[in-house]
Amino acid sequence: MPPPRQVFVAVVGTGGVGRCFLAQLSALASRLSQNAPSPIYLSLIFLSRSSKALYNPTYRSLPLSTWESDLDGSSQQVLTPTQIAEYLASAPSRVVLVDNTSDQALADAYPLFLRRGISIVTPNKKAFSGSLDLWRAIYAAAANGRETAAGGSGASAGGGSSTSAGSTMAPSGPAAAGSTGFVFHESTVGAGLPVLSTLADLVDTGDRVRRIEGVFSGTLSFLFNGFMPVGGGTGGSGGSSFSAEVKKAKELGYTEPDPRDDLNGLDVARKVTILARLAGLPVAAPPAAFPVQSLVPAELEGVASGDEFLARLGEFDGAMDKVRKDAAQKGKVVRYVGSVDVENNELKVGLETFDPSHPIAALKGSDNVIAFYTERYGANPLIVQGAGAGGEVTAMGVTGDLIKVLRLLH
């Protein structure tokens, strides 16, 4: 019988996504431990949120059933990303770091983690949509990171010879040494929907991606589906107020920690940047790199907190009412969309109007829809659609990525 295999898991962030991930991890650990004839033992050895941390010098497994009270009661020092890397790199088995935060400092440390042999799975968009240098450093360090046009190989955008960094194909470069970490971030676009894996498959199998377009924000989809539902009438007063929909989206766990990051278009801009880079375009960080339409009233851009922003948003409902009314008078609805024109190297993010019969107008809830126009698929794009935000569906993408890493490690 083969020897039992152990993999250590470190989790940072226990918010909406983090807590769902921990529940999914618990179920996965239990299933894998019964995996006859070769069980895998997943052990949680590090858990933290912004003000609390749990770990121990002997890498003893932390109980998943009592993580919340254990973490609340902990008086251990919160570690910096460098200290976390140091702690995890000395562990006696392979380690997967699960970053369920939107923290930039942790994202900046991904190359360090990967070089120290620690794999990363994450829904955090910061590492993949910020500076191109960070993107390149991550994929240069990762065991499954291969050269992309965005990484500097010079392959033509969308061309058959470019490769995708989201791929799970045989590693090259540092991968060959087998001691660097793997990186997966499916939930950075479309939450758990298979968006990055689909793009990777298209590119890796030699298709030519021409254009990617759709609705990429669960929050903005939910907002406009409720604020301006199809059938709302030509007066455009069929839905509830804009600020009320934003508050609901926050309560449902769809928004970023600060909802301004959704309403200013930056979250969508980050997602289209990630798709563009994986399709081979060396796109610089938004919003400087391409036009991004913000829905945040100028007066609220600088308020101190997301809570204050939400409390005052209702004062500005009139502006969005006008947008709704203008569209309704033309028999249209408004939706917030994004696109990557791979062939012409053009990215766009903002409001557009649609006929009520258009599939984008008919979306429900927090649904995303992502259409891949490629050489093989011709005029009828490959479409991925479903919930694009929420703790459970986002955690599902993270857990799926963890399973991919486990397959690669063993």
Ligand X SMILES: N[C@@H](CC=O)C(=O)O
Total residue count of the chain as it appears in this document: 410
- Tell me which residues in 85-144 interact with ligand NDP (CB under 6 A): 100-103, 123-125
Largest CA distance in the chain: 71
The answer to whether 190 contacts Na ion (rule: CB under 5 A) is yes
Q: Which of 245, 262, 367, 401 binds ligand X (CB under 6 A)?
A: 262
Pairwise CA distance, residues 316 & 321, whole Å = 9
Q: Is 271 a catalytic residue?
A: yes
Establish whether 125 is an annotated binding residue: yes
With respect to Na ion, which residue has the nearer C-beta, 101 or 122?
A: 122
205 is in an annotated binding site: no
Q: Does 267 bind ligand X (CB under 6 A)?
A: yes
User: Is 213 marked as a binding-site residue?
Assistant: no
388 known ligand binder: no
Paired with 374 in beta bridges are 209
365 CA to centre of own chain: 19
Question: Residue with structure tokens 């380690």?
Answer: 95
Give least dist CB 274 to ligand X, A: 11
259 binds ligand NDP (CB under 6 A): no
Q: Do residues 221 and 359 lie in contact, with contact meaning Cβ atoms separated by under 8 Å?
A: no
Q: Provide the minimum distance between the beta carbon of 270 and ligand NDP in the complex, in angstroms, as a whole number.
A: 8
13 assigned ligand-binding residue? yes
* Own/partner pairs, 173-179, CB within 8 angstroms, 24+ separation: 173/140, 173/145, 173/146, 174/115, 174/140, 174/141, 174/142, 174/143, 174/145, 175/142, 175/143, 175/144, 175/145, 178/143, 179/117
218 binds Na ion (CB under 5 A): no
Indicate the SS3 state at residue 360. Answer: coil
Distance of closest approach, residue 91 Cβ to ligand X, in angstroms:
30
Q: Taking CB under 6 A as the rule, does residue 395 contact ligand X?
A: no
Q: Closest separation between CB of residue 18 and ligand NDP, Å?
A: 5
Q: Does 218 bind ligand X (CB under 6 A)?
A: yes
Using CB under 5 A, count the residues that bind Na ion. Answer: 4
Question: Which candidate in 126, 250, 271, 332 is catalytic?
Answer: 271
- Taken in order 22, 23, 25, 26, is the CA torsion positive or negative? positive
The catalytic residue positions are 271
Binding site residue list for NADPH: 101, 125
Q: Which residues are annotated as a binding site for L-homoserine?
A: 256
